[in-house]
Amino acid sequence: MKNQDTFKGNLGGRISYAMRAYAPLMILIGLVILFTFISPNFMTSYNIRILIRQVSFTAISAVGLMFVMIGGGIDLSIGSQIILTNIVLSIMMVDFQIPLIIGIPLTLVLGTILGIINGMLSIKLKIHPLIVTLGTAAIYKGLGFIIASSRNIMGFPDFFRFFGQGYIGPIPVPIVVMIIVALIGNFVLVRTYFGRYTFALGGNEEAARLAGVNTNRMKVTLFAICGFISAITSILLLSRVFAGQTSTGAGIEFDCLTAALLGGVSFKGGEGTIFGLITGVLIIGVLNNAMQLASFPDFSQNVVKGVVLLAAVGFDTYQKNRKAKETVARVAA
Amino acid sequence: MNSNVVLSLKDITKKYPGVLALDRVSLDFMEGEVHALLGENGAGKSTLIKAVAGAIDLDGGLITVNGVEHPKMTPHISRGLGIEVIYQEFNLVPTMSVAENIFLGDRTNKSILVDFKTMKTKTREIFSLFNVDINPDAMVQDLPPAKQQIVEIAKAVSKNVKILIMDEPSAPLSVAEVEHMFDIIRHLKQSGVSVIYISHRLEEVFRISDRVTVMRDGQYVATKLTKETNRKELIGLMVGRELKESYPARSNPRGEIALEVKNLSGNGDKDISFSVRKGEILGISGLVGAGRTELAMLLFGADPIESGEIWVEGKPVQIQSPQDAIQNGIGLLTEDRKGKGLFLEMGVGWNISFPIIRRLSKYGIVNTKTENEIAEKYKQRINIKTPSLMQRVINLSGGNQQKVVLAKSLAAESDILIFDEPTRGIDVGAKQEIYHLMRELANNGIAILMISSEMEELLGMSDRIIVLCEGKLAGEVKREQFSQDYILDLASGTH
């Protein structure tokens, strides 16, 4: 983001700034080069398309999470929201024969409401969103299980396949949706006053309030955005799996969170870019994909992902601390 | 005071990228003296302290303590020698008791269990030395800043302090509390402790110190016996030229009433009424805790009003949120500019335009061209020293940060500005600029409310002063009645 650029007077500073800003990208490029050499099936157009489609669902939800995170919050209920909206949409289509033209908007509204509930609870109970969404995650998931009553809901109209399995030209629909969501997300964050308010809320909530921002309304809105976007992911995933299951989307928030942190979105709020986020999502996607190609056992994949996350965030924090120390010293001098 | 040198600094040099923070500074500190360190922001005082505390690696020079040379000072060695620093931000654990804080990191006995009894007894002993009454079991977070400060000093004393370094210790204290701290400092001095006292407040330096050293731009300038110098000379040494600490000339405000407050209560304030005219600077005086900042927060809609009315330009207005206040042309420059006034990680321009960013947007999209023009205009108008509008605010000096806060309110085109401690923690040169800006704004018809703990500033800048005491209006002082004693009388409720 242009407005966050730091003025850098000397070359050393410029290099360290570039390292920080582009570290995720360099990790991604490094991994791609590495796997291209290791595995001949990696760098094929077929595999790349699969890879991006694999990550597109995570990427879309991650954009929603990023809005909440830049505003200083966190949403651990994304996966549970997807489970609930998935089951509700399935039941609407199969049990009630509600046409998609009504079912899809209703699902988006439901997702938004789940987000609003998260937001209202955090501002009314004044509890940290981490705890609030940990609670609502259990509730949303539980509700999904109750109304699904251990069924595997099937029998969707055939053209519903389009969203998760179809193509627009040569590009799979989820990828198109991902690109649109990312572009809109970037535009809102960078170009609109709403984006400014979001960064301000996460950067210094009290200062934002004293500058006339309705911080409570902002928080609820950000959670609502996250819920709305989760509902989009939910619709795409349901179409892809083509059966209403309570396992769809479970745990996706951790991939989103990992991607966001890898991509430089600050856990404390006030910082983050769509570019970084997508890079983070791709790093996870490349790791998953390449390790599957190389038939790594599942568990060791988890170990690698964990190590990459800690290494990347650790490096970032180290850089920031060093910079902060220099700044403090310079200011104090 | 005797003539034993306890701490000797020779050619201390410290480089930061692009800055020579300390440039061959040589200086001696005597046993049992209170030695004030003066200088504008950026003069190198804080870096010098860090050097003595071993918190930074030096690029040159030698530190000698009690005749022993320490070519590489570390925090551990420094502490071992009895050097303790009380930083502006306290190093206390808020959720632990007073006694636990004082003995944090110390073991009073050999057992693996904490010996609370000894800890408490020793804590009481220290407090009785200071003649203060603080419960050793009290939680630090429940203490007011003044008492936390005393806990910090007690912590240093418990560690057998020989050299106590205090960085702006009076900033959070009221007049009476500063007195008490001075008593404690004098007491320490008698028992042979050397105190290095850093402050922006010159009058304190004259009251407490034996000698005073002035630094400028990382260099040693001069050391004077406090008795033999004066205010004017010190200011001259600090800024490197003869600078008269002067206040801009007043004009007689005869404008209409811009803001009128009628029987306002809330936030601990009770039944407060006053008015400000356009072009007038109304000083608001009172001790810490008198409800001055609380009044500002009420007027700005940041805290709820319980009863009473606010009138702007002759009409009653409803102010329930900062938004309402801003819409009615009221601007607030908070006393806590880092915590409440600025987005430190964001750029200068970003900060300036933030309060009006919605107005600068069409269909929600920010017009960045207009935004930059406005930010640039105010940057130039009040002379914010920054290499660019992109520079993060965190990298600016205190004075320039304060100007960014001011630019924010000006960009919002406020007609009524509330300045809460406008010059706290900023250097002499920047103070002058802020004073002139405030007067210029008043001359342009803006009504100003100025909360200040610096008496001289209040008397020098205000056209009229109201005094608060324990949440109530204690009195109104007209220009011809201005006197420090009278105002202090009103503020302490003795009148």
Per-residue model confidence as pLDDT tens digits over B118-161 = 888 888 888 888 788 888 899 888 888 778 888 888 888 888 88
* Rounded alpha-carbon distances, angstroms, from residue B150 to A211, B127, B173, B425, B479: 35, 9, 11, 21, 37
In this prediction, residue B331 carries a pLDDT of 93
Inter-chain CB proximity B343 and A270 less than 8 Å: yes
Among B480, B419, B412, B429, smallest CA distance to B449 is for: B419
Using pLDDT thresholds of 50, 70 and 90, give the confidence band for residue B243: very low
Domains of chain B: 5-239 (3.40.50.300), 257-491 (3.40.50.300)
What rounded mean pLDDT belongs to chain B? 86
Is residue A68 domain-resident?
yes
Phi, psi of B298 (to 5 degrees): -65, -50
Closest residue in A to B46 (Cα–Cα):
A332
> Sign of dihedral through CA atoms B462, B465, B467, B472?
negative
Q: For A227-231, A291-295, B344-348, B440-444, which range has the lowest pLDDT when averaged over its residues?
A: A291-295
CA distance, residue B369 to nearest chain A CA (Å):
12
Inter-chain CB proximity A193 and B364 less than 8 Å: yes
Model confidence pTM above 0.90: no
* Rounded alpha-carbon distances, angstroms, from residue A244 to A87, A141, A226, A331, B61: 6, 14, 22, 58, 73
Closest residue in A to B355 (Cα–Cα):
A211
Q: Which of B19, B355, B387 sits opposite A330 (nearest CB)?
A: B19
Chain B window 297-336: which residues touch A at a Cβ cutoff of 8 Å? 300, 302, 321-323, 325-326, 332, 334
In this prediction, residue B108 carries a pLDDT of 55
DSSP assignments along B479-494, one per residue: GGG--HHHHHHHHTT-
Q: Which of A5, A193, A204 sits opposite B358 (nearest CB)?
A: A193
3-state secondary structure of B230: coil
3-state secondary structure of B131: coil
Among B423, B441, B402, B437, smallest CA distance to B276 is for: B441
Is residue A184 domain-resident?
yes
Is residue A205 domain-resident?
yes
d(CA B269, CA A110) in angstroms, rounded, equals 46
Is residue A327 domain-resident?
no
Q: Which of B300, B323, B395 sits opposite A331 (nearest CB)?
A: B395
Interface test with A, best of B13, B350, B408, B417 (most A CBs within 10 A): B350
Using pLDDT thresholds of 50, 70 and 90, give the confidence band for residue B41: low
In this prediction, residue B462 carries a pLDDT of 92
Look-up of token digits 């073991």: B107
**pLDDT tens digit sequence for B259-316:** 999 999 988 899 999 999 999 999 999 877 788 999 999 999 999 999 999 999 999 9
What rounded mean pLDDT belongs to chain A? 88
Query: Is the pLDDT assigned to residue A2 strictly greater than 50?
Result: no
**pLDDT tens digit sequence for A79-125:** 999 999 999 999 999 999 999 999 999 999 999 999 999 999 999 99
Inter-chain CB proximity A204 and B354 less than 8 Å: no
What is the domain range of residue A259? Answer: 38-308
The answer to whether B235 and B245 are in contact (CB under 8 A) is yes
Query: What interhelical angle do B428-443 and B231-239 show, nearest 10?
Result: 100
Query: Is the pLDDT assigned to residue A163 strictly greater than 90?
Result: yes
In this prediction, residue A333 carries a pLDDT of 41
Closest residue in B to A9 (Cα–Cα):
B18
d(CA A183, CA A188) in angstroms, rounded, equals 9
Q: For A51-60, A84-93, A112-121, B337-346, which range has the lowest pLDDT when averaged over its residues?
A: B337-346
The answer to whether A199 and A213 are in contact (CB under 8 A) is no
> Sign of dihedral through CA atoms A69, A73, A76, A79?
negative
Using pLDDT thresholds of 50, 70 and 90, give the confidence band for residue B107: low
Most confident listed range (A32-36, A113-117, B101-105, B455-459): A113-117
Chain B window 374-393: which residues touch A at a Cβ cutoff of 8 Å? 387-388, 390-392
Query: Is the pLDDT assigned to residue B396 strictly greater than 90?
Result: no
Among B146, B405, B444, smallest CA distance to B278 is for: B444
Using pLDDT thresholds of 50, 70 and 90, give the confidence band for residue B241: low
Using pLDDT thresholds of 50, 70 and 90, give the confidence band for residue A7: very low
Interface size A-B, in CB pairs within 8 Å, comes to: 125
In this prediction, residue A313 carries a pLDDT of 77
Query: Is the pLDDT assigned to residue A64 strictly greater than 70?
Result: yes
Report, as an integer, the average pLDDT of A5-18.
Answer: 52
Length of chain A: 333
Look-up of token digits 């009172």: B286
Q: For A56-65, A135-144, A168-177, B103-112, which range has the lowest pLDDT when averaged over its residues?
A: B103-112
Query: Is the pLDDT assigned to residue A327 strictly greater than 80?
Result: no
**pLDDT tens digit sequence for B49-58:** 989 998 888 8
Among A45, A255, A301, A3, smallest CA distance to A171 is for: A45
Using pLDDT thresholds of 50, 70 and 90, give the confidence band for residue B386: confident
**pLDDT tens digit sequence for A244-263:** 999 999 989 999 999 999 88
The DSSP letter of residue A94 is: H
d(CA A174, CA A51) in angstroms, rounded, equals 12
Is residue A249 domain-resident?
yes
Q: Does B347 lie at the interface with A, CB-CB under 8 angstroms?
A: yes
Inter-chain CB proximity B340 and A271 less than 8 Å: no
Q: Does B411 lie at the interface with A, CB-CB under 8 angstroms?
A: no
The answer to whether A214 and A40 are in contact (CB under 8 A) is no
Interface test with A, best of B365, B404, B405, B418 (most A CBs within 10 A): B365
| CATH number of A204's domain | 1.10.3470
Q: Does A325 lie at the interface with B, CB-CB under 8 angstroms?
A: no
Higher pLDDT, B273 or A308: B273
**If DSSP states are collapsed to H, E and C, what string results for A248-278?**
CCCCHHHHHHHHHHHCCCCCCCCCCCHHHHH
Is residue A189 domain-resident?
yes
The answer to whether B55 and B252 are in contact (CB under 8 A) is no
CA distance, residue A296 to nearest chain B CA (Å):
42
Cβ contacts of residue B56 below 8 Å, gap of 6+? A329, B14, B47, B50
In this prediction, residue B1 carries a pLDDT of 44
d(CA B302, CA B418) in angstroms, rounded, equals 13
The answer to whether A89 and A103 are in contact (CB under 8 A) is yes
Q: Does A204 lie at the interface with B, CB-CB under 8 angstroms?
A: yes
d(CA A329, CA A306) in angstroms, rounded, equals 34
Query: Is the pLDDT assigned to residue B349 strictly greater than 90?
Result: yes
In this prediction, residue A185 carries a pLDDT of 97
A246: which 2 tokens?
């309570």
In this prediction, residue B424 carries a pLDDT of 79
Is residue A324 domain-resident?
no
Q: Taking CB atoms and an 8 Å cutoff, what residues of chain B touch A7? A: 387-388, 390-392, 395
Gap between the terminal Cα atoms of chain A = 30
Q: Can you point out the beta strands (E) in B242-306?
A: 257-266, 269-277, 281-285
Q: Where are the alpha helices (DSSP H) in B191-336?
A: 202-208, 231-239, 292-299, 322-327
Is residue A65 domain-resident?
yes
The answer to whether B10 and B62 are in contact (CB under 8 A) is yes
In this prediction, residue B113 carries a pLDDT of 67
Cβ contacts of residue B316 below 8 Å, gap of 6+? B309, B310
Using pLDDT thresholds of 50, 70 and 90, give the confidence band for residue A277: very high
**pLDDT tens digit sequence for B181-209:** 898 899 899 989 999 999 877 888 899 99
Number of domains in chain A: 1
The C-alpha torsion from A48 through A54 and A55 to A58, rounded to 10°, is: 170
Query: Is the pLDDT assigned to residue B319 strictly greater than 70?
Result: yes
Query: Is the pLDDT assigned to residue A1 strictly greater than 90?
Result: no
Closest residue in A to B217 (Cα–Cα):
A333
Pairing verdict, β A167-168 and A171-172: antiparallel
